[in-house]
Amino acid sequence: MQRILKTSEDGSSTVYSEQTGETYHSIHGAYTESMHVFINNGLSLVKSNKINVLEIGFGTGLNAWLSYIYAINKGLEISYDAYELYPLPFSLVNLLTYKDIYPEKQEKFELIHSVPWETTAKIDHNFYLSKKCSDITVCTFNGIYDMVYFDAFSPDSQPEMWTGKVFEKIFQDMNHEGILTTYCVKGIVKRALKEVGFKIEVLPGPPGKRHMLRAWKM
């Protein structure tokens, strides 16, 4: 799989996948998109000091790293399960510029990526990371989640990831009032989420995108 480093409009890195014809994050701002979709409109709304997070699409590790920084700043404890079928090679990871945003946290960014797949590691006293190189359409999740980052490639590229079957499995493994956020607002996604029981909200999107979705397990 050919993947190429790109610089987004806010100066942070993203990666272009020739297989899907898409970038891992918004070309209008990778860091800005992750903060808007997953941290500010998702994680920040979880009403608990101990939070279980599920990420669909570990990708560049940006969402995991920003969640770690959020946990440190807010005094939270996070257990973070990330699923990724096609991990990035270290040769590409080493070129990512995210650590320049918080240079004092560079060591933790590197540690997040050095955690072996199929293991769980303690990143800090309040952040535990489990990385799974697995296909979520057939795998079984290991936790009950308060927050889900749904960050797969688009339904046009990976339609099998955005089905009612996948969302039903996630729904069953979420706590009451658990939150799922995603950048995608396509009608097929909204319908699939509603059909399995989610209450959805259409919110203003990050730069370059009109809307995003937030779904609640009520």
List pLDDT tens digits, range 82-114: 999 999 999 999 999 887 888 888 899 999 999
Per-residue pLDDT at 100: 81
The CA R_g of the chain, rounded to the nearest whole Å, is 16
User: What is the CB neighbour count within 10 angstroms for residue 177?
Assistant: 13
Choose among 167, 174, 179: nearest CA to 43.
Answer: 179
Instruction: Return the domain boundaries, the chain.
Output: 3-217
d(CA 129, CA 81): 6
CATH superfamily of 3-217: Vaccinia Virus protein VP39 (3.40.50.150)
**Maximum pairwise Cα distance, the chain:** 44
User: What is the CB neighbour count within 10 angstroms for residue 89?
Assistant: 9
Describe the crossing of helices 106-114 and 62-74 by its angle, rounded to 10 degrees: 130
d(CA 11, CA 30): 8
Average confidence score pLDDT of the chain: 95
d(CA 96, CA 101): 11
Per-residue pLDDT at 98: 86
Backbone angles phi, psi at 109, to 5 degrees: -60, -45
pLDDT in single tens digits along all 218 residues of the chain? 799 999 999 999 999 999 999 999 999 999 999 999 999 999 999 999 999 999 999 999 999 999 999 999 999 999 999 999 999 999 999 999 887 888 888 899 999 999 999 999 999 999 999 999 999 999 989 889 999 999 999 999 999 999 999 999 999 999 999 999 999 999 999 999 999 999 999 999 999 999 999 999 98
Per-residue pLDDT of 6-35, as tens digits, reads: 999 999 999 999 999 999 999 999 999 999
Per-residue pLDDT at 178: 98
